[in-house]
Structure 1
């Protein structure tokens, strides 16, 4: 049972990096590729159908960590409290930018919220790299550490590359490139590599600090029946909004 829940936790965390990674990557690319209002609308429209579905994976990661690895949850919240708060604020800022950017049509309003999307995406991407480094060191290193900042830069670049690959698949030719679905899968795996590497190194610790069997049995009864729904919903989103299914991409988040 311990190995089963470790595998579930690993799949959820790697899945979050692979899926939310391209959302954040497109947000990072908003100032680079969004030279006009129409370009920025097209960038946001490209990720619009996926954002909420992808964020569900983070909720699943947090819930699994709290139930299966309660000691790890305490170490994350205590050892990384400033970073966790900064990441939550970045998350709120990014999502607020997506929802509010089209509420008014003025250039200052739109520019501010487009900047919020980009800045929030940067904060989340870099924050994940710093959090992974802290986890890899057993939460003994300072929250702001040179190697943690370096890993934050690496994760940010991987997410940006994943976002660019996703755009080349979702909007072929619109931003100068065309990529296949297989290329998106590969870039998603690459974006998830930092998380996979940390999980591999932390596997002995996690297995030694897993919740008691009785707790895992209850979690299995509550969570495992819902897993097919989560996977099915994700498949439905990707099949429904794949390239060629709609004639045009309309801006979302009205």
Structure 2
């Protein structure tokens, strides 16, 4: 059962990096590619249908982490408390920008919230890189050091590239490039490499420090049946909003 839950957690974490990575990447690119209000509107509209579905993976990652590996809860929440708070604030700021940018029509209003989307995306991307470094060192080293900062920069660049590939797939030619679904899949796999590398190294520790078998059995009954539902919803979103399904609309909630 420990192996099954480790594989489930690995799929969730790498899946989050591969999916949410392009959302964050598009946010990072707003100041670079969004030179006009119309282009920023198009970028946000391109990723908007995928955002909520992708964030479900993060909720599942957190639930699995604290349910299956309870000893890590204190190390993550208390050992990285300032970083966790900064990432939560970045998440709130990014989502607030997505929700409020179209509540008024003024250019200054949208520009302010677009800047918060970019700032929140940067905080989350950079924070994930530093978190991976702290986890790789067993939470014994502060992530604020040259290696942690470099890993934060690496994850940020990977997400930005993934976001650019997504835009080239979702809105072909609108931002100067066209990419296939295969290229998007490849960029997603590359974005997930830092998380996959951490999981490979941490596998013996995680298997050894899993929750008791009785707890895992209860979690299996409660959680695993919902996995096909989450996967099915993700497939529906991608099939519904893939290129060629009509114009890219601006959802009312974004």
Q: Does 1:86 align with 2:86?
A: yes
Per-residue Cα deviation, 1:198-229 (whole angstroms, up to 9, x for no partner): 11111111011000000000000011110000
Partner SS for 1:173: coil
Partner of 2:248: 249
Per-residue Cα deviation, 1:127-156 (whole angstroms, up to 9, x for no partner): 000000000000011131211110000000
Per-residue Cα deviation, 1:105-147 (whole angstroms, up to 9, x for no partner): 1122111100000000000000000000000000011131211
Q: Does 1:163 align with 2:179?
A: no
Partner SS for 1:143: coil
Per-residue Cα deviation, 1:59-113 (whole angstroms, up to 9, x for no partner): 0000000110000121100110000000000000000000001111112211110
Partner of 1:224: 224
* Structure 2 CA distance for aligned equivalents of residues 89 and 50 of structure 1: 21
Partner SS for 1:50: helix
Which 4+ runs in 1 deviate beyond 2 A?
none
TM-score (norm 2): 0.98
Q: Does 1:102 align with 2:102?
A: yes
How much does 1:249 deviate?
A: 1.2
* Structure 2 CA distance for aligned equivalents of residues 67 and 227 of structure 1: 16
Partner of 2:144: 144
Contact residue 133 and residue 143 of structure 2 kept, 8 A: no
In structure 2, list runs of 5 or more residues that go unmatched: none
Partner of 1:202: 202
Partner of 2:64: 64
Partner SS for 1:234: helix
Partner of 1:25: 25
Aligned length: 253
* Structure 1 CA distance for aligned equivalents of residues 186 and 73 of structure 2: 30
Per-residue Cα deviation, 1:164-211 (whole angstroms, up to 9, x for no partner): 001100000100111110111000000000000011111111011000
Partner of 1:11: 11
Partner SS for 1:156: helix
* Structure 2 CA distance for aligned equivalents of residues 73 and 9 of structure 1: 15
Q: What is the Cα-based RMSD across aligned positions, in Å? A: 0.7
* Structure 1 CA distance for aligned equivalents of residues 188 and 66 of structure 2: 26
In structure 1, list runs of 5 or more residues that go unmatched: none
